[in-house]
Amino acid sequence: MLRLVNELGKAPKVALFSHVSPDGDCIGSMLALGLALESLGKEVEFYNPDPLPHNLTFLPGATRIRRAPAGKTAPALLLIDCADLARAGLKPDQVPGDTLLLSLDHHISNRHFAGVNVVDPEAAATGELVYQVVLELGVPLGRDIAMNLYTALVTDTGSFQYGNTSVRTHLIAAKLLETGLDLTYVHHQVFDQKPLAQVRLLQRALASLEPAYEGKFVLMTLTGEDFAACGAEDSLSEGLVNQARSIQGVEVAVLIREVEPGKVKLGLRSNLWLDVNEIAVRFGGGGHKRAAGCSMNLSVAEAKRRITEAVGEALQLGRSD
């Protein structure tokens, strides 16, 4: 942590990147750190390769996020909440050899790809790590920074319900609330404002629901036709897999989304014991023990077969604890 803080302290210009299919943690963490660096007089660029989900557009600084650099990026690049370069939509040849590459992340699947890596899988959200960086930079917790960090925490912990929530998480949340943060407003924006297209997408996802392995596994699918019929973008599928995970008796839930013919993305969630990160890694993805994802260059039908088989093997092995 100290080396990353020192490098950020020295850098006059920093480009911040967050991951594809953005969520509250990667966006909130990126914006919070960027605002903190700007308060120190640094020039900051914000990048994310995908459109921002509707429920995160309220965050302070969100309108400044660009999809990709127009030209040469800053000499210092910090990837936030990304397990590798590809997760940020970057290729190795897009990073000049003289670039200072930094990584700040909490994914257990992080590949320590940067010159300086701060990776803490015990952190409930990357927002916890950004909070520490902000403090060590000596930046006061203003309300805009606090709003971004609180959003990072509340989204990656499921409103402090998931097993990754710790004493540290609650202590940080308390410090953020001391800034005068309006948590009711944040929760309303993040969780209560759903476009009709998203509700229709959920309807189709639930209609596709397929239980297996005596109800311990539930699979949902959304095809390109589903997205088109609902007038919905891929970002509106964020969180839908949790509807399947909440079914009584389910240990593993998976949502398969067709992003184009022959290519799908999978969101994997588990409840109590199964490590879905291990399954996602088998298909080139990763994440956390209870939440992970991957992509497959396969049809929806073949992806269903592959993931159902993989989950079945994991369930058969039984609890690891």
Structure confidence by residue, pLDDT tens digits, 249-288:
999 999 999 999 999 999 999 999 999 999 999 999 999 9
What does the pLDDT read at residue 119? Answer: 98
Q: Give the model's pLDDT for residue 321.
A: 46
**Tokens encoding 318:** 């039984």
pLDDT at 240: 96
**100-109 per-position pLDDT tens digit:** 999 999 999 9
For position 71, what pLDDT does the model report?
81
Which pTM value belongs to this model?
0.90
Q: Cα separation of 283 and 310, whole Å? A: 10
Q: What average pLDDT does the segment 42-57 reach?
A: 95
pLDDT at 73: 81
Alpha helices by DSSP H, 180-248: 183-187, 196-207, 224-230, 241-245
- How many structural domains are present in the chain? 2
The predicted structure's pLDDT at residue 231 = 96
For residue 197, is pLDDT > 90?
yes
Decide if 258 contacts 264 (C-beta within 8 A): yes
Whether 206 and 78 map to the same domain: the answer is no
Say if residue 209 is in the same domain as residue 157: no
Q: Is 119 in a helix, a strand, or coil?
A: strand
What's the order of all strands across the beta sheet hosting 286-287?
210-212, 217-222, 252-260, 263-270, 291-296, 286-287
202-216, 282-296, 306-320: least confident range: 306-320
Show which of 192, 225, 254 is a domain's final residue: 192
Domain ends where: 149, 174, 192?
192
183 and 265 co-located in one domain:
no
Domain that holds residue 204: 196-317
Residue 320 is predicted with a pLDDT of: 46
Q: Choose one of 135, 157, 192: the last residue of a domain.
A: 192
Q: What is the pLDDT of residue 319?
A: 64
Residue 65 has pLDDT above 80, yes or no: yes
171-178 average pLDDT score: 98
- Calculate mean pLDDT across residues 73-80: 94
CATH number for position 159: 3.90.1640.10
Residues 143 and 276 in one domain: no
Distance, CA of 258 to chain centre: 19
Asked if residue 43 and residue 185 are part of one domain, the reply reads yes
Same structural domain, 53 and 148 = yes
CATH number at residue 237: 3.10.310.30
